[in-house]
Amino acid sequence: MKLESLLASRWGNHLLNQTAEISNPEEKILITVGVISVGDEILEGRVLDAHSQTISEKLLGTAAQVKWHLSVGDAPGELSAALQDKSSQADWIIISGGLGPTEDDRTRQEVSNAFGLNLLEIPHVWDGIKNRMRAHGVEPAENNRRQAFFPEGARILENSRGSAPGFVIEDSSERKVFALPGVPHEFKGMLADFVLPEVAALKGDVKSGEILDFVAVPESKLDEWIAKRVPADVLYHICVRNWGQIEVRLPVGVSLTQEVKEEFKGHFLGTGGLSIEEHLIQSAIRSKMSLTTAESCTGGMISSRLVNVPGSSRVFPCGWVCYSNPSKTRELDVDPRLMDLHGAVSQEVVEQMAQNARIKAGTDLAVSVSGVAGPDGGTSQKPVGTVWVALSTRNSIASHCYQLNGDRTRIRGLTTNLALLALHSMVRKQEIPGWLPNPS
């Protein structure tokens, strides 16, 4: 039986008919996509399924729409059963994981079983695996040979970053099953090399509506405000990201940018689905304003977020992490008498940290933070969650005390966002926001 007939028998003819009905060559074809992540480590919670998130992010706004995610274990039959159950619910399926050399790497066999295909060894692939491993000083083991077996008729996807090639089985009706390795850098590279170009070759991108980015605003407040300004039948989406970041996606033809600038001044970051730090770096580059950081309780999280943004070196030359009191004095010339009198978590100390960091770095702006992240260290006067944020400019200095809720990780994450928001607000010629609504 031909591969196309095998796929049709597993997928179901309704997808073939659905594709055949599209006769207008100018009409966009929307491909539905399912994502399957393979591995016991995912089901057991030992490894986060970041690959599904990556696929959905990369396909957002394209002609390939992700409809579902699924995780399965390594046991024999789990992936093949999932493919048989779910393959009629997507035009494309992207599998990550299970292409290694060990006994529990069964994706090749499972895909073959699901679609009734023979599993065949491809000699030149085995030769390539051996040559690549030996070039790195590693003698291939016999179990590496498993990585040279593929479902009959599969198109092999070369892996230039590792020993496990991927593959895709497909038919003439644009139905495909991609199998990519689970090693993160190999997966991302092969997604970019093979899957995304095929997505780009589809008949045009789906138009995307406006994306509004906020921070430290209650989801309920945003929803209530938007609902009063759009028709009842208009569908919009509110996505709560980490540490109080919120993204609102509006449909094509609906624009609220000008209104939210006034209503949520100081908490509206901009448009585009970007993070606080991305908005900040873009604004700082446009404004030609340089900045630095002086961190205590966040321990480098602020500077790490900044340098994650390409181009940040144009506006961020350096930063300081001064966790202990002596380091604050040694690195930033903080007066030890201030810490003795007021404590490290105080307006006086955090303002001196910001002021001295800006002078030492020679930047236009500096932000500093000091707080009680917990679980220990709190007092009745300064309970866990007490955080001071200060911002120094060439002409002034300002600070604010926040009382945050949550565990150590959450408090540090929220503090990082507050510091980034303070910088962003000043770069955009706004005031430091003095209100924080228990962000989630």
Would residue 163 count as lying in a domain? yes
**Element containing residue 127 per DSSP (H, E):** helix 123-135
Same domain, 160 and 306: no
Q: Is residue 86 part of a domain?
A: yes
Q: Which run of H or E residues covers position 392?
A: strand 386-392
* Each residue's pLDDT tens digit, 61-80: 888 999 999 999 999 999 99
Interacting residues of 5 by C-beta distance below 8 A, sequence separation 6+: none
Of 141, 171, 200, the last residue of a domain is 200
Within this chain, do residues 28 and 124 fall inside the same structural domain, yes or no? yes
Q: For residue 277, is it within any domain?
A: no
CB 324 within 8 A of CB 370: no
Residue 139: give its domain's CATH number: 3.40.980.10
Q: In terms of domains, do 168 and 51 share one? A: yes
pLDDT tens-digit map of 266-317:
789 999 999 999 999 999 999 999 999 999 999 999 999 999 999 999 999 9
Domain range for 383: 289-427
* pLDDT recorded at residue 13: 43
Q: Is residue 280 part of a domain?
A: no
Q: Is 276 inside a domain boundary?
A: no
Residue 439 lies in a domain: no
Clarify whether residues 264 and 137 are in a common domain: no
Is there a single domain that holds both residue 193 and residue 74?
A: yes
Among 181, 200, 219, the domain boundary falls at: 200
In single-letter form, the type of residue at position 400 comes to H
Could you tell me what percent of the chain has a pLDDT over 70?
90
**CA pair distance 184, 222, nearest whole angstrom:** 35
**pLDDT > 90: percent of the chain:** 79
Are 158 and 40 within one domain? Answer: yes
Is 314 part of any domain? Answer: yes
Distance CA 191, CA 256 (A): 34
Backbone φ and ψ for 396, nearest 5 degrees, come out as -155, 170
264 & 392 share domain: no
33, 163: one domain: yes
Cβ-proximal residues to 406 (8 Å cutoff; 6+ apart), any chain: 385, 414
Digit-coded pLDDT (tens) for 216-244: 888 999 999 999 999 988 889 999 887 78
Question: Which pLDDT does position 27 carry in this prediction?
Answer: 38
Burial profile 210-229: b = 16 or more Cβ within 10 angstroms, e = fewer: bbbbbbbbbbeebeebbeee
Phi-psi sector, 333: left (phi>0), alpha (psi -120 to 50), beta? left
**Greater pLDDT, 27 or 341:** 341
Kindly state whether residues 194 and 216 are assigned to the same domain: no
Same domain for 394 and 370: yes
Q: In what order do the strands lie in the sheet with 268-271?
A: 237-240, 245-249, 211-215, 268-271
Output the DSSP codes for 204-230.
Answer: -PPP---EEEEES--HHHHHHHHHTTS
CB count, 10 Å around CB of 199? 17
Is 35 inside any structural domain? Answer: yes
Helices and strands: H and E segment counts in the chain = 17, 17
Residue partners of 64: CB distance under 8 A and separation at least 6: 30, 31, 32, 33, 92, 199, 202
pLDDT of residue 139: 95
On the question of pLDDT at 134 being above 90, the answer is yes
What is the rounded CA–CA span in Å between residue 186 and residue 165? 10
The string of pLDDT tens digits covering residues 315-361 is 999 999 999 999 999 999 999 999 999 999 999 999 999 999 999 99
> Is 230 in the same domain as 342?
no
Is pLDDT at 23 greater than 50 in this prediction? no
Cα distance between residue 105 and residue 242, in whole Å: 33
Both 257 and 403 in a single domain? no
> For 159-195, what is each residue's pLDDT tens digit?
999 999 999 999 877 799 999 999 999 999 999 999 9
Range in 16-20, 46-50, 58-62 the model is least confident about? 16-20
Q: Is the peptide bond before 375 cis (omega within 30 degrees of 0)?
A: yes
User: Which of 175, 200, 225 marks a domain boundary?
Assistant: 200
What is the domain count for the chain? Answer: 3
